[in-house]
Amino acid sequence: MGNNENRPQAIFLMGPTASGKTDFAIRLCEELPCDVISVDSALIYKGMDIGTAKPTKDELEKTPHRLIDILDPAESYSVADFRRDALAEMKKVTDSGRIPLLVGGTMMYFKILLEGTSPLPEANQTIRKQIVDEAEQKGWEQLHQELSAVDSEAAQRIHKNDPQRLIRALEVYRITGQPLTKLQSVKGETLDYNVMQLAMDTPDRNVLHDRIEQRFKAMIAKGFEEEVAKLKQRGDLHLNLPSMRCVGYRQMWEYLEGKLDHEEMIFRGIVATRQLAKRQLTWLRSWPDLTLLDSLKTNTLSDIIDRIRCG
């Protein structure tokens, strides 16, 4: 973002899952007058604590995070909803004389903050149900091929096993008759802040993969199965909801339904989390004005603090 003395300061802290963003953010808040705003499409949901690696009670007491636990898992939340809520929280932080520190791995949320909203239609539940019904009859691969025919760029970006984004791309086309990619290219109001954009990185991918595996196994030990079982018992949740498609939750849900054994559930959960990290890293490789932070270097924090203090 261009520097402008009249703009307030903000910090973006991005990065793949399990890269150490939460710990780094807490340490930044110990040194700088920052307030954390979560940029994570999973942490918004109440009752989904273990499987989302939500900051612990002690961490939240020490460093409160805004936009955590704001929605029931049965509810939907769009990127436009996030932008509205994040801008409101950023203003509150700035008005109090502090620095908004936006932390998370949902790259589309960061993107819409920077670039503004595109003229996309609101979700249409009737059309969404039609798409889901078609998927049950034809399979998601067939629907992915249909998307390729009308929006090849979106189809290249969206995996055939990513039903949430696939549904949205087809829904937009069926409502407007225009490709999602074309509508997304129309930008709205940009972010009126001087933003320092940081991204946690672990250059050794084996280290990141090990962290992901150990964290998923730690979730199991902390009671992840019981957490999902409690959600499943509600009766109003299902695997087509965005909340239940969060990494790990689908695999545990299918285990509880007897579709996977325990070992396969753990394996698939770890693989899905690694795939998420890969997608996040793909976003970051093409992200402009980004400073990469090596999570394994001990001087990373002090270097960033010096840069922020020097303006």
Q: What average pLDDT does the structure give for the chain?
A: 93
Fold of 125-184: Histone, subunit A (1.10.20)
With cut-offs at 50, 70 and 90, classify the pLDDT of residue 5.
Answer: low
Q: Which residue pairs, CB below 8 angstroms and at least 24 apart, start in 213-219?
A: 213/270, 215/18, 215/53, 215/273, 216/248, 216/266, 216/269, 216/270, 216/273, 217/266, 219/50, 219/51, 219/53, 219/248
9-117+188-309 belongs to which CATH class?
alpha beta
Taking residues 199-215, what's their average pLDDT? 94
pLDDT over 70 at 2, yes or no: no
Distance CA 123, CA 175 (A): 9
Determine how β-strand 99-103 pairs with β-strand 9-14.
Answer: parallel
Higher-pLDDT residue of 222, 190: 222
DSSP structure class, residue 97: T
Q: Are 151 and 169 in contact (CB under 8 A)?
A: yes
N-terminal to C-terminal alpha carbon distance within the chain: 14
Taking residues 228-253, what's their average pLDDT? 96
pLDDT recorded at residue 1 = 47
Most confident of 65-74, 126-135, 297-306: 65-74
Q: How many helices (H) and strands (E) does the chain have?
A: 14, 6
Q: Are 99 and 10 in contact (CB under 8 A)?
A: yes
Taking residues 44-69, what's their average pLDDT? 97
Higher-pLDDT residue of 102, 202: 102
With cut-offs at 50, 70 and 90, classify the pLDDT of residue 311.
Answer: low
Taking residues 34-48, what's their average pLDDT? 98
Q: Are 107 and 84 in contact (CB under 8 A)?
A: no
pTM over 0.95: no
CA dist 138 to 90, 108, 228, Å?
Answer: 44, 29, 29
- Would you kindly state where each structural domain of the chain is located, as residue ranges? 9-117+188-309, 125-184
Of the candidates 4, 24, 8, 13, the one whose C-alpha atom is nearest the C-alpha of residue 296 is 24
Distance CA 252, CA 229 (A): 9
pLDDT recorded at residue 75 = 95
Higher-pLDDT residue of 184, 284: 284
DSSP structure class, residue 70: -
